[in-house]
Amino acid sequence: MMRHWNWQITAGAIASLVFLPLLTLAWLSFSANTELWEHLLDTVLADYVISSLGLMIGVAILTLVVGIGSAFLVTQYRFKGVAFFHWALLLPLAMPAYITAYSYTGLLDVAGPVQSAIRDHLGLQFGDYWFPEIRSLGGAIFVLSFVLYPYVYLMARSSFIEQSQHLRDVAQLLGYNRRTAFLRINLPIARPAIIAGVSLVLMETLADFGAVSYFGVSSFTTGIFRTWYNLGNVEGAAQLALMLLGFVVVLLALERTSRKRAAYHDKKTSQPAEPTQLSGNKQVLAITLVSLPLLLGFIIPCTQLLYWAIGNAAQLASYDFWVLVGNTLLLASTTAVIALFLALLVAYSHRLSQSKFTLIAKNVVGLGYAIPGLVIAVGILIPLAYFDNTVDSWMRTHLNYPTGLLISGTITALIMAYLVRFLAVALNSVESGLQSIRPNMDQAARSLGLTPLNVLRQVHLPIIKPSIMTGLLIVFVDVMKELPATLVLRPFNFNTLAVRAYELASDERLSDAALPSLAIVLAGLLPVILLSRISRKAS
Amino acid sequence: MKKTLILIAALILSACQQQVSEEVNLYSARKEALMKPLLDAFTSETGIKVNLISSKADALLTRIESEAANSPADVLLTTDAGRLHRAKLAGVFSAVVSDTLIDSIPSQYRDSENLWFGLSVRARPIMLTAAATQIEITRYEDLADPQLAEQICIRSSGNIYNQSLVASSIEANGEASTEAWAKGLVANFARSPQGGDRDQVRAAAAGQCSVVVANTYYLASMLSDTENVVDYQAASKIKVIWPNQEGRGTHVNVSGAGVLKTAPNRDNAIKLIEFLASDTAQKLYADVNFEYPVKAGIELHPILKAWGEFKADSLPLTKLGENNARALQLMDRAAWK
């Protein structure tokens, strides 16, 4: 007999939501012709693969250096403003990558103010001076890294905070200096957390379309869209998407393996390590170093947006703009609540039953984050419309009562797509919370006569509240930034801030796009600030 | 918490239940900002409410195909003939018999079976700065001349207007000769293709290149907004030349629309397309987005007038759609990014 079968079935049902679009992709793939592959292999496929790998390696290295470096500085040292940097370093999380890409392009492009100033003031012509090309693979790595490093920073920071004073005592006993201690003790212990962070970064990087295509980089994901849009080949696009997914599964498997080895984690709480006070040049250096990511990931792009937005502030007065704000907040908050609820059910089912089935369910749910939003949109669109049409024709013939499209073209369809993509994020947070509760606590509660549901409600929920809040906020911010699925699935006369910003920006009206972009950032700011307070309290 | 959920549910329900008796549902690949003035004019003239979803043409087509018989969409509007042709092949359009449309729209700008109708013309000529002195450029074919090395700015092959340009060249010169031309063109690129058409103009003005291929309405909109000084000055440095006037004519595309087979409001859908082909709307296309009207005898915007008249390629635009996939594969082979 299955243990806790009702919980297992719940987990399975939730996972099938994510499985549905995957199944659709597989179904589409079967009808693809091989002619396309010959063409792709002959021409662009190598370029797609190389660009995507380059992008991943570049972003991984940069986010690791920036994320770990800044986390280490703010947790191990005391310098002026360290409390501010603690949370401010999370701010870039509120910036959608494509919007940061727009701002930097406006600023650094050949026709932008920086290069124009160089030409005008130095009396140079284009070609007389060297200037990095922002719209390039390097530019994409730069922008994605400074938008995504907070994932690594967040994970590394909490791990460094948890590392207790006695680890440092051990390091001293061994005669390690600070650098050796960091390399041999702090970093290895933080590794699982850091890898979890960087895997989120890489999934986002692989799935990104907005920033990467804007920079003219032919990545695998831009290739998927090119195949669909320009060759009109949905089936071929589905095959490419499945290949991408296969690659992610391998990556995730590697990540899981590395997490398993983390069993030596020191859970006994002792005194947290006392930060070292910095002074003089070292203090200046530390402040400079932690300012850089904040400057590059947040302040510079935001200033550019603000500059554009001031010229277009009249939009603020329009009723239409506030409808956009309302729609966006409604979608983001609804999705966040549902996502956390479902993620909690999945994680807890697995905790209860420890079965292979729930493990698979959990892993399937974790996949969604790596699928490009547009691919998810198609994967949701096709089965939902099929379902609606089947119900409609059955109702027509048997009850003479046409039901039309029940779910397709409604906000429900949109939220389903968001869930497919962002349940993984919610699950990550819930799991990290649940892991900190020892299983013998469940046993104790059960022996006192609580049902599994009551254990969850009365014992777990109060303890993992911070993790749940973290998940809520990250999903909220992610939904606010989401563009491709929204663009495809939304109902009539329904727009979000991201859609408006994109429509204007893709028409090269960057300055008109600034205000909605800034609104996304502002609305994302509040959750990010809350998030940092929660994670500080939790530590 | 409970209250909020109920409120949210109520909001969703009320959003779903907005029913107006006279309406038409439009799936548009033209952005909302560009459609809004036209649609508002339609509503105030006819009293018919227009419900709009703007997205990418292929996404909308996939949506129509999967929604099938129950699709609420009445009209699919795209920004190029290639996508209209793709929708025709997918079998989602139904023929419209309308004398108004046939009288207003020249035959090369509409489908031979009246499945779709072009509504505005988009010309893609060559544009030059004063630095383009290497050779005299009069034809698209000249762009492959090695003397123009590192002089040309053009956007990526992912852009449909470039695909259409290549598709028209396949029709005029054949596939092999077009491929050789594309390779020559790529060899003359000043930079790896990036950005939109406005960006090419900006780059040329900044001196990165001297020859640009771009749609005219982008240049016109830069010229019209004198408040955006940087863009205005950039565009002022650019001269439009109409290529292939001795031969096939300058490459043009259309934005256009068709009525869907499953349209629940067919009559209103036809009214909408007829309105978009009317004098009022044809004038608006020029005023809102600086496009050329499909209809003869409509007064042009002063900026467009200043560029003079030109001979447009008379190729039936269906050919652009038919050749599109070949064009893109050819561009892949020519390493046009």
Q: Is A375 or A193 the better-scoring residue by pLDDT?
A: A375
A467 vs A396, higher pLDDT: A396
Closest residue on chain B to A48 (Cα): B337
Q: What is the pLDDT of residues B23-46, one digit of tens each?
A: 999 999 999 988 999 999 999 999
Q: At residue A71, does pLDDT exceed 50?
A: yes
CA distance B190 to chain A (A): 11
Give the tokens for residue A103. 């701002």
- List domains and CATH numbers for chain B: 22-122+254-300 (3.40.190.10), 123-250+318-333 (3.40.190.10)
Burial label, A414 (beta-carbon count in 10 A; 0-12, 13-18, 19+) = buried
Q: Chain B residue closest to A507 (CA)? A: B196
pLDDT in tens, B200-219: 999 999 999 999 999 999 99
User: Which of A212, A230, A319 to probe the B interface (max B CBs under 10 A)?
Assistant: A230
Query: B76 pairs with which residues across the strands?
Result: B27, B258
More confident residue, A163 or B246: B246
CB contact under 8 A, B62 and A404: no
Which residue, among A144, A225, A106, has the nearest Cα to B199 in the 3D structure? A106
The alpha carbon of residue A414 is apart from the nearest alpha carbon of chain B, in Å, by 12
CB proximity list for A481: less than 8 A, separation 6 or greater: A96, A498, A520, A524
Chain B hits for A213, CB-CB cut-off 8 Å, are 158
**Angle at CA B262, nearest 5°, toward B259 and B263?**
50
Strand ranges (DSSP E) for A163-224?
none
Q: Identify which of A125, A330, A506 has the shortest CB distance to residue B8.
A: A330
Q: What are the chain A neighbours of B31 within 8 Å (beta carbons)?
A: 503-504, 506-507
Edge to edge, what strands does the sheet with B126-128 contain?
B152-153, B211-213, B126-128, B239-241
Residue A505 tokens read as: 């920006």
Mean pLDDT value across residues B252-270: 96
Residue A295 has pLDDT above 50, yes or no: yes
DSSP A295: I
Which has the minimum average pLDDT: A191-195, B128-132, B223-227? A191-195
Domains annotated on chain A, with CATH: 1-21+320-539 (1.10.3720.10), 32-311 (1.10.3720.10)
- Tell the burial category of B192 from Cβ atoms under 10 Å away from its Cβ (0-12, 13-18, 19+): middle
pLDDT of residue B155: 93
With beta carbons under 8 A apart, name residues in chain A contacting B19. none
Confidence of residue A102 (pLDDT cuts 50, 70, 90): confident
The helix-helix angle for A187-207 and A411-435 (nearest 10°) equals: 170
Please indicate if any CB of chain B lies within 8 Å of the CB of A488: yes
Task: Say whether B228 and A507 touch across the interface (CB within 8 A).
Answer: no
Length of chain B, in residues: 337
Give A491-537 pLDDT, tens digit per residue: 999 999 999 888 888 777 777 888 888 888 888 888 777 777 776 66
From first CA to last CA, the distance across chain A in angstroms is 41
What tokens were used for B138? 């009069």
At B247, the amino acid letter reads: G
- d(Cα A194, Cα A66) in Å, to the nearest integer? 12
Residue A116 has pLDDT above 90, yes or no: no
B300: left (phi over 0), alpha (psi -120 to 50) or beta: beta
pLDDT bucket at B7, cuts 50 / 70 / 90? low
Indicate the residue of A389, A411, A493 with minimum beta-carbon distance to B68: A389
Reported confidence tier of residue A1, pLDDT bands at 50, 70, 90? very low
CA A296 to mean position of chain CA atoms: 19
Under a CB-based contact definition with an 8 Å cutoff, are residues A66 and A157 in contact? no
Distance in Å, alpha carbon of B246 to nearest chain A alpha carbon: 31
- Angstroms from A363 CA to nearest CA on chain B: 29
pLDDT at A249: 86
Closest-CA distance of chain A to residue B274, Å: 22
Residue A153, min C-alpha distance to chain B (Å): 32
Q: What one-letter code names the amino acid at B198?
A: R
Mean pLDDT, rounded, for B131-146: 93
Q: Is A35 on the interface with B (CB under 8 A)?
A: no
Contacts of B174 (CB under 8 A, 6+ apart): none
Which tokens in the block code for residue A346?
């999945």
Give the one of B70, B202, B205 whose C-beta lies nearest to A388's C-beta. Answer: B70
For residues B221-233, average pLDDT: 88
ipTM: 0.85
- Alpha-carbon distance of A307 to A277, in angstroms, equals 38
Q: Is the predicted pLDDT of residue A137 greater than 90, yes or no?
A: yes
Of the candidates B84, B108, B117, the residue with the CA atom closest to the CA atom of residue B252: B108
Is-contact B64 B242, C-beta < 8 A?
Answer: no
* DSSP assignment of A259-285: HHGGGG---S--PBPPPEEP-HHHHHH
Contacts of B194 in chain A (CB under 8 A): 135, 215-216
Residue A327: pLDDT above 90? yes
Which candidate from B32, B54, B206 shows the least CB-CB separation from A126? B206
CA distances from B32 to A199, A304, B36, B40 (A): 37, 25, 6, 11
Please state the φ and ψ torsions of residue B26, each to the nearest 5 degrees.
-115, 125
**Beta carbons of A389 and B198 less than 8 Å apart:** no
CB contact under 8 A, A411 and B72: no
Q: Taking CB atoms and an 8 Å cutoff, what residues of chain B touch A392?
A: 69-70
Chain B nearest-CA residue for A512: B33
Calculate the CA B9 to chain-centre distance: 39
- Chain B contact for A503, CB < 8 A? yes
- Can you tell me whether residue B94 is helix, strand or coil? coil
> Average pLDDT for residues A261-270, to the nearest whole number?
52
Closest residue in chain A to residue B16, using alpha carbons only: A410
Read off the pLDDT of residues A411-443 as tens digits, 9 standing for 90 and up: 999 999 999 999 998 998 888 788 878 888 888
d(CA A68, CA A187) in angstroms, rounded, equals 9
Distance, CA of A181 to CA of A163 (rounded, Å): 12
The pLDDT value given to residue A452: 87
Contact: A492, B53; criterion CB under 8 Å: yes
Among B31, B72, B160, beta carbon nearest to A507: B31
Q: How many CB atoms neighbour CB A246 within 10 A?
A: 10
Helix A234-260 to helix A220-229 angle (10° resolution) is 160
The C-alpha atoms of residue A414 and residue A527 are separated, in whole angstroms, by 22
Alpha helices (H) in A31-164, listed in sequence order:
35-42, 45-76, 82-88, 97-108, 113-122, 137-162
> What string of DSSP letters covers A80-92?
TTHHHHHHHTTGG
| Chain B residue nearest residue A408, CA to CA | B67
Q: What pLDDT was estimated at residue A372? A: 86
Q: How confident is the model at residue A265 (pLDDT cuts 50, 70, 90)?
A: very low
Measured CA angle at A504 (ends B18, A200), to 5 deg: 90
Q: Could you say which of B15, B32, B337 has the minimum Cβ distance to residue A216?
A: B337
Q: What is the pLDDT of residues A9-68, one digit of tens each?
A: 999 999 999 999 999 989 988 876 777 888 888 888 888 999 999 999 999 999 999 999
**Six token digits for residue A187:** 């970093």
Nearest by CB to A487, from B11, B55, B203: name it: B55
From residue B229, how far is each of A42, B127, B218, B222, B226 by CA, in Å?
Answer: 45, 20, 15, 9, 6
pLDDT tens digits for A455-487?
888 888 888 887 888 788 889 989 998 988 998
Q: In terms of DSSP bridges, do strands B23-28 and B49-54 run parallel, antiparallel, or are they unpaired?
A: parallel
Q: Is A125 in Cβ contact with B70 (below 8 Å)?
A: no
Q: Can you tell me which residue has the tokens 């284009």? A: A126
Cβ-based contacts of A118 with chain B (< 8 Å) = none
Closest chain A CA to residue B331: A43
Buried b (16+ CB within 10 A) or exposed e, A37-73: eebbeebbbebbbebbebbbebbbebbbebbbbbbbb
pLDDT at A298: 95
Going by their DSSP bridges, the two strands B117-123 and B75-78 should be labelled as unpaired
Q: How far does B31 lie from chain A, in Å, by closest CA?
A: 6
Q: Determine contact, residues A59/A212, Cβ cutoff 8 Å.
A: no
Asked if the model's pLDDT at residue A313 lies above 80, the reply is no
Q: pLDDT: is B103 or A199 the higher one?
A: B103
B153 - beta bridge partners? B212
Using CB atoms, pick whichever of B25, B32, B198 lies closest to residue A508: B198
pLDDT of the residue at B168:
96
Q: How far is B103 from chain A (nearest CA, A)?
A: 32
Q: Which residue type does B235 have?
A: A
* Residue A264 confidence (pLDDT): 46
Chain A residues close to B33, C-beta within 8 Å: 503-504, 507, 512
